[in-house]
């Protein structure tokens, strides 16, 4: 597999294979036979990172991703542009209910429309306005804001836009610590999405995401644990982040998951990344000495 992508059914395939399948007129998942609500192919960055790591360890050139063609992702229409522009204007309204509804509507639009995600990425001044709506109290606004940012991050070119914004990653990390379980899980998913870029991996690690991600891995809901595990794996492909993860106790967290038979594949993947790290062995030796 060279270029893993996820179908709407949740199954992962190599892009050339599934693209040919869809181009032949098929609108079902080859594995599950589920009728696809849309033919969008989303890059599977976790599997791609695992492939990259294996290639590096075996000195094999990493195959480049296939050229991406998105005929089903048209430019934003005039009506969509008008609607989004109106919502963005409402983010600055003095009325909290109007701002709250604007964020909720943006969450829905960015989930449904790739063109809207792209439009927001082309207007990066939107991000600070979106973040400013959250007053630190309203959990509904918090979740809607974080989820909108997750949706926007799924458009590939937006990953750099969001990563370069000085407020985005700190906001998401704070949501990891203070949000509801749904908000924390969506924040982890957004950080996972952003960490597809090496430059973002470094920023996310330096700004302190590892410890709250491991906490979510330990104490979150099953879906939140999965989102945290995906983010941790991607971040740990960076050496400095592996050091942070080991110091913050990731090995113990994933071993507990394996013992509980939860997220075994994701946990083993993380453990494989950090198992050769000298800090892990140093901490193991210290623990052994303290018990003797």
| Predicted structure pTM score | 0.78
CA 236, CA 216: separation in Å to the nearest integer?
16
Number of H helices, E strands in the chain: 17, 3
What is the pLDDT averaged over residues 139-148?
97
Give residue 279's pLDDT. 53
Stated length of the chain: 292
Position 291 pLDDT exceeds 50: no
222 three-state secondary structure: helix
CA 53, CA 202: separation in Å to the nearest integer?
17
CA 3, CA 226: separation in Å to the nearest integer?
22
Reported confidence tier of residue 66, pLDDT bands at 50, 70, 90: low
How many other CB atoms are there within 10 angstroms of residue 250's CB atom? Answer: 29
Reported confidence tier of residue 64, pLDDT bands at 50, 70, 90: low
| pLDDT tens, residue by residue, 101-124 | 999 999 999 998 989 999 999 998
Report the chain's mean pLDDT, rounded to a whole number. Answer: 86
């Amino acid at each position: 597999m060279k270029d893993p992508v996820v179908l709407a059914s949740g199954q992962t395939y190599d892009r050339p294979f599934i693209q040919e399948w869809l181009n032949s007129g098929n609108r079902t998942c080859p594995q599950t036979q589920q009728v696809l609500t849309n033919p969008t192919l989303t890059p599977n960055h976790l599997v791609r990172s695992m492939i990259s790591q294996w290639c590096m360890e075996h000195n094999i050139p990493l195959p480049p991703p296939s050229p991406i063609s998105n005929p089903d992702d048209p430019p934003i229409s005039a009506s969509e542009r008008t609607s989004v522009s109106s919502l963005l204007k409402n983010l600055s309204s003095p009325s909290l209910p109007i701002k709250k509804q604007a964020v909720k509507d943006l969450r829905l639009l960015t989930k449904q429309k790739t063109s809207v995600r792209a439009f927001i990425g082309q207007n990066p001044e939107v991000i600070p306005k979106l973040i400013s709506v959250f007053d630190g109290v309203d959990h509904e606004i918090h979740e809607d804001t974080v989820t909108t940012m997750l949706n926007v991050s799924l458009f590939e070119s937006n990953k750099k836009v969001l990563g370069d914004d000085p407020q985005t990653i700190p906001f998401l990390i704070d949501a990891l610590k203070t949000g509801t379980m749904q908000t924390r899980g969506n924040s982890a998913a957004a950080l996972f999405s952003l960490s597809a870029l090496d430059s973002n991996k470094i920023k996310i690690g330096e700004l302190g995401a590892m410890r709250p991600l491991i906490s979510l891995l330990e104490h979150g809901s099953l879906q939140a644990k999965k989102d945290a595990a995906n983010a941790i794996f991607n971040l740990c492909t960076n050496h400095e982040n592996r050091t942070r993860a080991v110091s913050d106790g990731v090995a113990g967290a994933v071993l507990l998951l394996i013992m509980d038979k939860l997220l075994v594949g994701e946990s083993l993947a993380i453990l494989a990344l950090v198992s050769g790290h000298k800090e892990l062995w140093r901490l193991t030796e210290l623990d052994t000495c303290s018990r003797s």
